[in-house]
Amino acid sequence: MRAIVAAPDTPEGFRMTDEPDPVPGPGQILVEVRHAAVNAGEIRHLGVWPAGTVLGYDAAGHVVRAAADGSGPRAGDRVVAFGAGAWARLAVFDVDSVAVVPAAVDLGEVAALPLVGLTALRTLRASGPLLGRRVLVTGASGGVGRVAVQLARHGGAYVVAVVGSPARGAGLADLGADEVVVGLDGIVDPVDVVLETVGGAHLVAAWGALAPGGVLHSIGWASGEPAVFPVNSTFAPGAARTLRSFGDATAPGPDLALLVDLVARGVLRAPIGWRGSWQRLGEATDALRQRRVAGKILLDLD
């Protein structure tokens, strides 16, 4: 099969090549991948993968071999999936890592959802009821941010979207942001929930914007800079504030099914900022690194 693999010896860090077809184990399905998505972190951290590793985690396609134990979707079903080795013609996924996609839903659109959708959904769910609360999303022009804005608004929150420039804020009001602001200096009223994707000084400033009893989810570190908290900045009177990490992508199948249902009902739009052939991955990653892509890269495996 054709696949995109890690290639530390190349300037791009990846190459397209022929690889052996994967073989599913018990409780796994074999999927013919039609669409795959690129997460920004996958491009920033290409160097961590050993040479020859099939890259990617987000995919959608058709089941060509059902699980031998009879669990999960059937052969021929359309599915969205989350798991290693997604940037390939054929990929193996655990049955609890996929969701069936109805015929009325575009496979390409839902292929862009797994990692960013799971991240936004699970962090917002862990924040408790959102109705009437103020939710702040940093890096809101990215994939996680665009999904988080929509889900928070759907949950009844007042949503403040923070971006790096006015141009990066385009379209966020249409997705449900009540305020779109450049940088955190303009945040005056305290917020109850923060989804923080930038790290560094943004993380420190977002912590300072939390109301008593608020929660800050640190779910990304796009800045690559350290966060330095001033002395006593973690002390405040009143109900305790909380700083939480996120990294739980276990058993994503039911949550993938929920995201697909939200797309089917018109509640959620996938954050696709660039779409094209997987043979143009180099072009797409250059655009992502130069911040010319708002949202996710979607690859069509033509």
User: In terms of Cα–Cα distance, which of 99, 15, 65, 100 is closest to 281?
Assistant: 15
Distance (Å) of CA 78 to CA 105, 145, 261? 10, 27, 14
- CA separation for the pair 80, 113 (Å, rounded): 9
What's the pLDDT at 41? 87
What's the pLDDT at 188? 85
User: In terms of Cα–Cα distance, which of 285, 287, 295, 293 is closest to 56?
Assistant: 285
Look at residue 211 and tell me if it is in a domain.
yes
3-state secondary structure of 107: helix
Look at residue 256 and tell me if it is in a domain.
no
User: In terms of Cα–Cα distance, which of 54, 102, 109, 104 is closest to 77?
Assistant: 102
What's the pLDDT at 186? 77
CATH, residue 78: 3.90.180.10
Distance (Å) of CA 241 to CA 123, 134, 213, 215, 216? 16, 15, 5, 6, 8
User: pLDDT tens track of the chain, all 302 residues?
Assistant: 999 999 999 999 999 999 999 999 999 999 999 999 999 889 888 888 999 999 999 999 999 999 999 999 999 999 999 999 999 999 999 999 999 999 999 999 999 999 999 999 999 999 999 999 999 999 999 999 999 999 999 999 999 999 999 999 999 999 999 999 999 987 889 999 999 999 999 999 999 999 999 999 999 998 989 999 999 999 989 999 999 998 889 999 999 999 999 999 999 999 999 999 999 999 999 998 888 998 999 999 99
- 77 and 125: one domain? no
Look at residue 251 and tell me if it is in a domain.
no
**What's the domain range around 122?**
116-245
User: How many angstroms from the chain centroid is the CA of residue 3?
Assistant: 22
Look at residue 210 and tell me if it is in a domain.
yes
Helices (H), the chain: 40-44, 107-111, 114-126, 143-154, 172-175, 201-208, 253-264, 281-289
Amino acid letter for position 126 = A
- 108 and 121: one domain? no
Look at residue 253 and tell me if it is in a domain.
no
- 60 and 125: one domain? no
A 10 A CB-CB count for 214 gives 24
Buried b (16+ CB within 10 A) or exposed e, 20-45: eebebeeebbbbbbbbbbbbbebbee
- 19 and 131: one domain? no
What's the pLDDT at 218? 97
- 68 and 133: one domain? no
Count how many domains the chain has. 2
- 68 and 137: one domain? no
What's the pLDDT at 44? 86
- CA separation for the pair 261, 278 (Å, rounded): 27
Q: Residue 130 is encoded by which pair of tokens?
A: 């959102």
- 45 and 124: one domain? no
- CA separation for the pair 162, 120 (Å, rounded): 15
Look at residue 53 and tell me if it is in a domain.
yes
What's the pLDDT at 182? 95
Do residues 150 and 124 touch, judged by C-beta distance below 8 A?
no
